């Protein structure tokens, strides 16, 4: 039996697992995806690696500051310039100066792989039911496996936590509701063209369609003009449940063509993120359900603040579990 089963191998789950394992607990992580990293996501398209989740890395507090130093020294992060503007006029974007941020030369998932290198992670395992027993949990996965654990951490977006705990947690015992902005990530290749701007990434604060535009080819394949463009939450909300995203991709491609005077692309792909960025937070470092066998939930929805918040929440969850193990049990 595991001491702790952690569901979700994103930044929160990995940081939680690292701490618990370092203290000698028998820990395993389970993730429904084939890869690890969650929203730190990289995929291969047209012989290039593209970050279609988190596009660039930035320091949001003490945890990301310390990790940035370490990852930069290891060559897992490199400089990347990102300009931020409220202007929706591409003529204004020509002269914007980028601020110092970081990109992952081997892809964002390489960061997760590095952080999780000593952990046991079962990939392609989607938790479907969680059954409380007298002194442990029984976890059942879509793939048919059953696992027992003394404690469980759900390191998932909050709506996915609610789905898994729906049958045995009353509404009163749920964390406060958190709402998410979805996103559509459009990956598009134009071959050997050149887009000349003094920045590598653009963060648009008032554009009706686009939140970020990344000159992705510059990360790993500078002879290719490849863009990864993420839509705003309000745009994505309108199309999120469409079975076929091809018509919306055409609309987005047309908009890019107009903005940057581009020809037809050589290829494109689109990815939907139902839970991309929390719009609010629960305000607590983690959530402890009032079950007799310990069940906790963590992730970026606890503190907010993206990657910094996800790391902080995973670490705080581990600290709580370790503290509770050190407490003498009551007679
Ligand atoms: C398009 C996009 C842009 C973003 N931009 C920024 C930004 O600019 N700045 C910033 O700070 N943050 C940004 N973020 C958010 C940032 O990536 C997240 O805050 C952070 O990665 C969340 O980590 P997490 O561990 O909490 O959750 P996740 O990374 O979502 O990890 C949860 C994991 O749980 C797994 N899972 C879910 N359900 C199950 C199940 N039933 N069984 C097993 N596994 C399951 C998932 O596969 C996933 O791997 C962005 C995210 C996206 C998608």
Confidence of residue 329 (pLDDT cuts 50, 70, 90): very low
Residue 245 vs residues 19, 31, 43, 189, 236: alpha-carbon distances, Å: 40, 26, 18, 18, 11
Q: What is the pLDDT of residue 161?
A: 97
**How many angstroms is it from 121 CA to the middle of ligand 1?**
17
Beta bridge partners of 137: 132, 149
Q: Return the residue whose CA atom lies nearest to atom 26 of ligand 1.
A: 299
Confidence of residue 192 (pLDDT cuts 50, 70, 90): confident
Specify whether the CB–CB gap between 85 and 92 falls below 8 A.
yes
- ipTM score: 0.99
Residue (of 285, 314, 312, 319) closest to 13 by Cα position? 314
Q: Which percentage of the chain shows pLDDT scores above 90?
A: 91
- Mean pLDDT over 250-254 rounds to 97
Interval 118-173: pLDDT, tens:
999 999 999 999 999 999 999 999 989 999 999 999 999 999 999 999 999 988 89
Which ligand 1 atom minimizes the distance to the CA of 33? 47
Q: What is the pLDDT of residue 196?
A: 83
Report residues whose beta carbon is within 6 angstroms of any ligand 1 atom: 7-13, 30-33, 38-40, 53-54, 60, 126-127, 155-157, 160, 183, 185, 230, 273, 276-277, 299-300, 306-307, 310
Which ligand 1 atom minimizes the distance to the CA of 128? 41
Q: Return the residue whose CA atom lies nearest to atom 15 of ligand 1.
A: 306
Q: Determine the Cα–Cα distance for residues 215 and 222; give it in Å rounded to an integer.
A: 9
Q: Return the residue whose CA atom lies nearest to atom 36 of ligand 1.
A: 8
Q: Return the residue whose CA atom lies nearest to atom 11 of ligand 1.
A: 306
pLDDT above 70: residue 327: no
pLDDT above 80: residue 331: no
Q: How far is CA 293 from the centre of its chain?
A: 28
Q: Return the residue whose CA atom lies nearest to atom 34 of ligand 1.
A: 8
Residue (of 172, 209, 33) closest to 109 by Cα position? 33
Q: Determine the Cα–Cα distance for residues 271 and 43; give it in Å rounded to an integer.
A: 11
Which ligand 1 atom minimizes the distance to the CA of 30? 43
**How many angstroms is it from 223 CA to the middle of ligand 1?**
30
pLDDT above 80: residue 245: yes
- 111-115 long-range contacts, Cβ below 8 Å, gap at least 24? 111/37, 111/40, 111/57, 111/71, 111/76, 111/77, 112/9, 112/10, 112/11, 112/14, 112/35, 112/36, 112/37, 112/38, 112/40, 113/36, 113/37, 114/71, 114/74, 114/76, 115/11, 115/14, 115/15, 115/18
**How many angstroms is it from 42 CA to the middle of ligand 1?**
12
Interval 7-42: pLDDT, tens:
999 999 999 999 999 999 999 999 999 999 999 999
Q: Determine the Cα–Cα distance for residues 27 and 18; give it in Å rounded to an integer.
A: 9
Identify how many contiguous H helices and E strands the chain contains and give both numbers.
Answer: 10, 17
Radius of gyration of the chain (CA): 21
Interval 286-326: pLDDT, tens:
999 999 999 999 999 998 889 999 999 999 999 999 999 87
Relative orientation angle of helices 11-22 and 108-115, to the nearest 10 degrees: 20
Q: Which percentage of the chain shows pLDDT scores above 70?
A: 98
Count CA within 13 A, CB hemisphere, residue 185: 22
pLDDT above 80: residue 330: no
**Torsions phi, psi of 148, nearest 5?**
-115, 145
Interval 256-282: pLDDT, tens:
999 999 999 999 999 999 999 999 999
Which ligand 1 atom minimizes the distance to the CA of 141? 42
Choice from 13, 300, 317 to test ligand 1 binding pocket (greatest atom count within 8 A of CB): 300
Q: How far is CA 231 from the centre of its chain?
A: 16
Domains of the chain by range and CATH?
2-326 (3.50.50.60)
């Amino acid at each position: 039996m595991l001491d702790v089963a952690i569901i979700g191998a994103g930044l929160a789950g990995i940081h939680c697992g690292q701490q618990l394992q370092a203290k000698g607990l028998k820990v395993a992580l389970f993730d429904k995806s084939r890869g690890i990293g969650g929203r730190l996501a990289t995929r291969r398209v047209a012989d290039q690696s593209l970050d279609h989740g988190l596009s660039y890395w930035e320091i949001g507090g003490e945890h990301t500051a310390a990790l940035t130093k370490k990852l930069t020294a290891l060559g897992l992060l490199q400089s990347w310039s990102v300009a931020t503007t409220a202007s929706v006029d591409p003529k204004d974007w020509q002269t914007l100066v980028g601020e110092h941020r970081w990109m992952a030369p081997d892809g964002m998932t390489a960061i997760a792989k590095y952080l999780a290198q000593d952990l046991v992670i079962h990939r392609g395992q989607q938790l479907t039911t969680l059954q409380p027993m007298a002194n442990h949990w029984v976890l059942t996965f879509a793939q048919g496996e059953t696992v027992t654990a003394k404690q469980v951490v759900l390191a998932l977006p909050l709506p996915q936590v609610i789905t898994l705990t729906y049958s045995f947690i009353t509404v009163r015992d749920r964390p406060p509701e958190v709402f998410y902005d979805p996103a559509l990530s459009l990956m598009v290749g134009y071959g050997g063209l050149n887009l000349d701007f003094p920045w590598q990434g653009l963060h648009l604060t008032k554009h009706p369609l686009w939140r970020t535009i990344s000159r992705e080819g510059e990360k790993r394949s500078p002879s290719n003009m490849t863009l990864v463009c993420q839509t705003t939450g309000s745009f994505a909300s309108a199309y999120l449940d469409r079975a076929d995203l091809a018509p919306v991709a055409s609309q987005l491609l047309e908009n890019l063509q107009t903005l940057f005077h581009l020809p037809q692309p050589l290829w494109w792909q689109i990815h939907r993120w139902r839970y991309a960025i929390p719009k609010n937070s629960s305000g607590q470092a983690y959530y402890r359900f009032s079950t007799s066998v310990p069940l906790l939930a963590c992730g970026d929805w606890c503190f907010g603040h993206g990657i910094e918040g996800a790391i902080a929440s995973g670490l705080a969850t581990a600290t709580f579990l370790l503290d509770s193990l050190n407490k003498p049990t009551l007679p």
